[in-house]
Structure formats: C-alpha cells, structure tokens
C-alpha cells in the first residue's frame, strides 16, 4: 500500500498535470501532495524522504524543459521510488524520458516506471489542430490503469529497476529559445492580466499595455490558451512554419507508451 504520493510537475497548459493526477488516482494512494513547479519562480527546496513521487514534464524539442531543470536544482530524495511522465504533442518525445531519468536519479530518486503520454500541442489552434483536446477520456483511463499496474508491481515486488527507457545519450542538442513570443491583439484585449498570471516564465507585464519580454519567453502558449478574450496569438513565422509541419506530419494519433 502506497501511503503518500508526491505529484511533482511543470505544466503550463495543464496536460501534464492531468496525466500525473490520473496516475496518482490509479495508484490508490491515501495521501497526495501537489508540488506544482509551473509558477514556482524560486524552485522547490525540499528533500523527499517517504512515499512515492510522480514527476511530470512536457517535452520541449525532444528534451526536458530547461526551466524545469532550474526549478529542481535544490530538490533531493532519499532513494524514494519515482514514476516519470513525459507529455508530448503527438510528434516525438525523443530523449526527454532518458534525460528526466538521469536528472531525477542524480537527485536521489529510484526510477521504477516511466511513461510517454500525448497532450494537445502548445501550438495547436482551432484552425490547425494538433492532438487537440488530448488527453481525452481514453488517455485519462490509460493513465489511471497505468497507475494501478505500478501499484500492483510495487505490492508484488516485481519489475526490473530501472526500466528500459527509449532515447539516446548524449541527448539531442537543445533548440535555442528566445526572441519569439505570442502577441496581443489590442482590439480584443481588456487588460485583465490573465496572461501575466499564468505565464510560468514571468515575462508578461500588464499596465496600460501588455508587454512581453520575448527574449525570456519559453513559448509554452499558456497565455494564448488561457486568455479569456482570445487576444493572445502565437503567429511568429517560425511557429507558423512549425505548426504547418506538425499538422502535415503529426496528425496521426499516437498512443501512450509505458516502460515498467
């Protein structure tokens, strides 16, 4: 019986969070504690000494987002088991899971299982959907059943630790971010500042105008997805081209994969 589960995640548009929560539900833990790093500017300064951790990240360019790595710098664990989640937008997860395995192992967790799940792509729009509305009911059910399978494995003391996880070392080169950010349509914007309140990189300031510090934008599109007036748009030509490529090549539904 798992008594305590720590849900540790970075999830600007909340698809990773949904999967992590479903796995926790399937595990049947009596006590779940959320450690949401999305808006935790200073990071998490904590040592995990008991229970089990579910650690979730969105895949950015086939890697673990750099901002997540910064936020777990002061986090450590005393050998407790960890379940890993890489949430990707129906393209590929490439080296993200092996990188996550390596980083959490270096922090003192014992990786017992890992999964790659699909969520709506950050660049998805109504007109150009990419994995729109995922995780859907079937994805959530899969995540829950995966949690139950992990609990069974733990109770029966079976499984090889750490599990075989696909991906390469050295990891693929990190794609540079910076300089590209969503724009605000001032005809629709009411200056409500929702964009600033949801931005995980704290790069949006709303006063008499909306000012976005593009150099430090991580392109997560939380401001676009949560703007109540649909006034934020990611329409930089680099992203437009990427979106077109994704719609053309990555529209065939992919299913979650588990490594136990």
Ligand X SMILES: Cc1cc2nc3c(=O)[nH]c(=O)nc-3n(C[C@H](O)[C@H](O)[C@H](O)COP(=O)(O)O)c2cc1C
Nearer of residues 109 and 123 to ligand X, judged by Cβ = 123
Could you tell me the smallest distance in angstroms from the CB atom of residue 152 to ligand X? 27
Nearest to 218 by CA among 90, 43, 97, 59: 59
Does 68 sit near ligand X (CB under 6 A)? no
CB 142 within 8 A of CB 183: no
Q: Which of 122, 142, 184, 194 contacts ligand X by CB under 6 A?
A: 122
Q: Is 202 exposed, middle or buried (0-12, 13-18, 19+ CB in 10 A)?
A: exposed
Nearer of residues 95 and 189 to ligand X, judged by Cβ = 95
Q: Which of 2, 5, 8, 14 contacts ligand X by CB under 6 A?
A: 14
Nearer of residues 151 and 219 to ligand X, judged by Cβ = 219
Does 121 sit near ligand X (CB under 6 A)? yes
Q: Which of 48, 68, 88, 146 contacts ligand X by CB under 6 A?
A: 88
How far apart CA 79 and CA 139 sit, in angstroms, is 30
Does 142 sit near ligand X (CB under 6 A)? no
Could you tell me the smallest distance in angstroms from the CB atom of residue 142 to ligand X? 15
Does 12 sit near ligand X (CB under 6 A)? yes
Could you tell me the smallest distance in angstroms from the CB atom of residue 79 to ligand X? 27
Which of these ranges, 71-79, 113-121, 184-192, 203-211, lies near ligand X under the rule CB under 6 A? 113-121
Does 15 sit near ligand X (CB under 6 A)? yes
Footprint on residues 196-225 left by ligand X (CB under 6 A): 219-220
Q: Which of 91, 101, 232, 243 contacts ligand X by CB under 6 A?
A: 91
Does 16 sit near ligand X (CB under 6 A)? yes
Could you tell me the smallest distance in angstroms from the CB atom of residue 208 to ligand X? 29
Applying CB under 6 A, the residues found at the interface with ligand X are: 11-16, 58-62, 87-92, 119-122, 219-220
């Amino acid at each position: 019986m798992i008594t305590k589960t720590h849900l540790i995640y970075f999830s600007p548009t909340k698809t990773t969070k949904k999967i992590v929560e479903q796995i926790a539900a399937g595990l049947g833990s009596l006590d779940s504690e959320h450690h949401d790093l999305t808006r935790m500017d200073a990071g998490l300064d904590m040592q995990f000494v008991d229970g089990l951790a579910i650690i979730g990240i969105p895949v950015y360019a086939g890697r673990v987002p750099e901002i997540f790595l910064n936020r777990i710098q002061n986090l450590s664990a005393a050998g407790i088991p960890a379940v890993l989640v890489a949430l990707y937008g129906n393209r590929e997860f490439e080296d993200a899971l092996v990188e996550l395995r390596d980083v959490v192992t270096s922090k003192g967790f014992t990786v017992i299982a890992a999964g790659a799940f699909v969520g709506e792509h950050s660049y998805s729009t109504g007109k150009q959907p990419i994995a729109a509305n995922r995780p859907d009911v079937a994805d959530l059910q899969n995540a829950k059943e995966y949690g139950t399978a992990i609990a069974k494995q733990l109770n029966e003391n079976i499984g090889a630790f750490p599990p075989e996880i696909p991906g390469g070392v050295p990891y693929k080169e990190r794609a540079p971010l910076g300089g590209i950010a969503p724009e605000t349509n001032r005809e629709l914007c009411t200056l409500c500042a929702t964009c600033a309140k949801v931005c995980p990189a704290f790069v949006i300031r709303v006063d008499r105008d909306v000012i976005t510090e593009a150099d430090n934008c991580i392109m997560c599109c939380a401001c676009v997805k949560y703007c109540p007036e649909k006034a934020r748009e990611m329409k930089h030509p680099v992203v437009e081209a990427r979106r077109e490529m994704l719609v053309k090549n990555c529209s065939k539904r992919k299913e979650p994969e588990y490594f136990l």
